[in-house]
């Protein structure tokens, strides 16, 4: 019998308490063979992870261990490694892969589903909350299409680090519990250019209230399976949105309204910190307003509203940084369309959808005011200041993160009429080319800062309060693309230390942490065009 055909053993993990609502309350695929197929009128397929050759635990998130109820000592056990690499199960687990569809790059793609993710089951956390544990890279499922269901180390490190980094930035997100290598080699064509190569296999355990996506609803409506659509809605209302009341067409509208609101808040946070998701398909949109599926994401280095990290999106730039709010609204429209057969009316859903952009703008305005240390952006002077700011950032190669962080050091007690080039010196660090800061752009910078000083005076916020507000809104440390790549390079050479160090630093992204100033610096020249730093693909 081959290794992958051997049944998984059961091992004891005392900290986990399972309450598998999704797989116990909704109907499973009756077919038990793990073969790729179209799954009809079912919410999930039961499937076990594929055994791996020689798993090794690389990292855990201590905060997530605490949330799910696993002690540090238990996380150091061989049992833990076996379970969270996909080699063993523990009491109460009910492994399954979910069925869903989705719009990819604006086109309906039909059935997609968990092609390389397997839900282990739903645990009751230490605060009484329900949390789904999911292994990404745990092997083939009925939804794998032509894929092998595996993931590789480079993408797994990126997902593990970014999940936790986003949480500590205050961005709504799924979490990461653990990162393991598998001892298997996985063939990948990283840029789909006909140059496949073997890479180190890996598995990440992701954690969220659920992994239900917009596409879970879309698949049933697309097939005319309205009974299943209504069963899923009933499940979601009763288990994840009970505060809305009994399931009904009215509560389904309220559910959609709340999803639109939390999505607007999430996108506003993305724009605040300079995060670009890279593949905002409807199957990558959570009903909880959480950032989900860390694939070809990237962080804005030099400000560029047209930048996308995804090689697949290079031609049309649908998922570029500046287009994320509009794409979120489009995705919500597809969710609304999927809910129409259960709501029986279009108008209430349209009204809720129409509120998305004003809601986003409200969140964004509040966050931008904090980034600038202003009480609000309600007056015309403040609004014009923001418009002029992004024109300024776009006029030269300017590091977005550093610019906002160093703006804190501008002395707002300076008389705007007396501001000089010395006043704006804190911003010099944000410019990639010294000639931009000292050349023609300098006049634009100085003029904008004078306007900023005027608006700050009107705002009437004391210097200490302003600095505290801005430090809480403008991180010093983000998971810059080149930092993630350096951690991957080290891990490929069996050195996981940088992954651990980054995890520690990114736990406190708003703190100064002077020992790690070099990780808050601009993107180095070597990273401008290097794969993994400038552009990424969906390959993982």
pLDDT at res. 147 = 87
pLDDT at res. 11 = 81
pLDDT at res. 167 = 98
Question: What mean pLDDT comes out for the span 30-36?
Answer: 96
Provide the 8-state DSSP code for 170: T
pLDDT at res. 9 = 82
Q: Which pLDDT tens digit goes with each residue over 456-506? A: 999 889 999 999 999 999 999 999 999 999 999 999 999 999 999 999 999
Q: CA torsion sign, 318 to 323 to 329 to 331?
A: positive
Q: Which two tokens stand for residue 88?
A: 């063993």
pLDDT at res. 77 = 95
- Report the run of H or E that residue 198 belongs to, with start and end: strand 197-208
Question: What mean pLDDT comes out for the span 27-35?
Answer: 96
pLDDT of residue 7 exceeding 80: no
Q: Which two tokens stand for residue 232?
A: 């899923």
| Residue ranges with strand state E in 345-477 | none
Question: What mean pLDDT comes out for the span 387-392?
Answer: 97
Question: What mean pLDDT comes out for the span 420-433?
Answer: 97
Please report which confidence band the pLDDT of residue 193 belongs to, taking 50, 70 and 90 as the band edges: low
Q: Which two tokens stand for residue 233?
A: 């809605």
How much of the chain is helix, strand and coil, in % rounded to 5?
45, 15, 40
pLDDT at res. 503 = 98
Question: What mean pLDDT comes out for the span 240-257?
Answer: 98
Q: Which residue has the higher pLDDT, 146 or 5?
A: 146
pLDDT at res. 2 = 47
Average pLDDT, the chain: 95
pLDDT of residue 212 exceeding 70: yes
179 strand-pairing partners: 59, 204
pLDDT of residue 102 exceeding 60: yes
Please state the pTM of the whole predicted model.
Answer: 0.96
Q: Which two tokens stand for residue 129?
A: 């909350």
Map tokens 């369309």 to a residue. 337
pLDDT of residue 195 exceeding 70: yes
Domain extents for the chain? 3-214, 225-367, 374-460
In three-state secondary structure terms, 262 is: helix
CB 54 within 8 A of CB 87: no
Please report which confidence band the pLDDT of residue 531 belongs to, taking 50, 70 and 90 as the band edges: confident
Q: Which two tokens stand for residue 311?
A: 């090689």
Question: What mean pLDDT comes out for the span 194-222?
Answer: 95
CB 372 within 8 A of CB 384: no
What percent of the chain is modeled with pLDDT above 90?
Answer: 91
Catalytic residue of the set 114, 283, 293, 436: 283
Residue 5 is a catalytic residue: no
Separation CA 73–CA 62 (nearest Å)? 11
pLDDT at res. 6 = 63
pLDDT of residue 129 exceeding 70: yes
Q: Print burial letters for 393-407: b (CB count within 10 Å at least 16), e (below 16).
A: beebbbbbbbbbbbb
Map tokens 């595996």 to a residue. 150
Question: What mean pLDDT comes out for the span 230-249?
Answer: 98
Question: What mean pLDDT comes out for the span 429-457?
Answer: 95
pLDDT of residue 3 exceeding 70: no
In three-state secondary structure terms, 111 is: strand
pLDDT at res. 1 = 39
pLDDT of residue 293 exceeding 80: yes
Residue 451: closest CA among 410, 483, 402, 494? 410
Please report which confidence band the pLDDT of residue 192 belongs to, taking 50, 70 and 90 as the band edges: low
Q: Which pLDDT tens digit goes with each residue over 512-524? A: 999 999 999 999 9
pLDDT at res. 5 = 52
Instruction: Count the neighbouring beta carbons within 10 Å of the beta carbon of residue 66.
Output: 15
Instruction: Count the neighbouring beta carbons within 10 Å of the beta carbon of residue 458.
Output: 12
């Amino acid at each position: 019998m081959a290794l992958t055909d051997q049944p998984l053993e059961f091992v004891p993990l005392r900290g986990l308490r399972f309450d598998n609502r999704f797989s116990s309350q909704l109907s499973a695929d009756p077919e038990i063979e793990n073969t790729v197929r179209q799954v009809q009128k079912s919410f999930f397929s039961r499937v076990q992870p594929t055994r791996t050759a020689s798993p090794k635990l690389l990292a855990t998130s201590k905060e997530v261990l605490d949330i799910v109820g696993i002690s540090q000592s238990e996380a150091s056990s061989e049992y833990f490694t076996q379970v969270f690499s996909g080699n063993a199960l523990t009491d109460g687990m009910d492994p399954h892969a979910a069925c869903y569809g989705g719009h990819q790059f604006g086109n309906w793609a039909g059935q997609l589903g968990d092609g390389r993710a397997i839900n282990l089951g739903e645990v009751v956390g230490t605060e009484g909350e329900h949390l789904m544990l999911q292994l990404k890279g745990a092997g083939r499922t009925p939804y794998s299409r032509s894929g092998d269901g595996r993931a590789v180390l480079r993408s797994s490190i990126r997902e593990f680090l970014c999940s936790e980094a986003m949480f500590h930035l205050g961005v709504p997100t799924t979490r990461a519990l653990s990162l393991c290598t598998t001892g298997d080699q996985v063939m990948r064509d990283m840029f789909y250019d006909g140059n496949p190569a073997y890479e180190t296999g890996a598995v990440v355990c992701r954690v969220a209230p659920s992994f239900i996506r917009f596409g879970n609803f879309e698949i049933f409506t697309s097939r005319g399976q309205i009974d299943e659509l209504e069963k899923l809605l009933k499940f979601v209302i009763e288990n994840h949105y009970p505060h809305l009341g009994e399931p009904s067409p009215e509560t389904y509208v309220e559910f959609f309204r709340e999803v639109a609101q939390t999505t607007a808040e999430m996108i506003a946070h993305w724009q605040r910190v300079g995060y670009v998701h890279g593949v905002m398909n409807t199957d990558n949109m959570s009903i909880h307003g959480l950032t989900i599926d860390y694939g070809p994401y990237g962080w804005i280095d030099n400000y560029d509203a047209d930048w996308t990290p995804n090689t697949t999106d290079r031609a049309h730039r649908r998922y570029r940084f500046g287009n994320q709010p509009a794409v979120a609204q489009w995705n919500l429209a597809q969710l609304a369309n999927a809910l129409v057969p259960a709501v029986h009316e279009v108008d209430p859903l349209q009204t809720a959808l129409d509120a998305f952009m004003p809601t986003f703008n409200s969140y964004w305005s509040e966050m931008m005011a904090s980034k600038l240390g202003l009480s609000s952006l309600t007056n015309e002077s403040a609004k014009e200041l923001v418009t002029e700011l992004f024109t300024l950032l776009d006029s030269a190669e300017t590091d977005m993160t550093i610019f906002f962080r160093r703006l804190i050091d501008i002395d707002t007690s300076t008389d705007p009429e007396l501001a000089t080039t010395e006043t704006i010196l804190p911003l010099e660090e944000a410019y990639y080319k010294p000639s931009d800061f000292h050349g023609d752009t300098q006049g634009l910078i100085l003029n904008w800062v004078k306007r900023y000083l005027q608006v700050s005076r009107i705002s009437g916020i004391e210097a200490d309060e302003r600095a505290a507000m801005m430090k809480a809104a403008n991180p010093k440390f983000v998971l810059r693309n080149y930092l993630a790549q350096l951690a991957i390079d080290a891990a490929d050479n069996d050195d996981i230390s940088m992954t651990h160090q980054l995890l520690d630093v990114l736990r406190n992204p708003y703190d100064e942490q002077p020992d790690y100033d070099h990780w808050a610096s601009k993107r180095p020249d070597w990273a401008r065009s290097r794969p993994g730093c400038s552009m990424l693909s969906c390959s993982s």
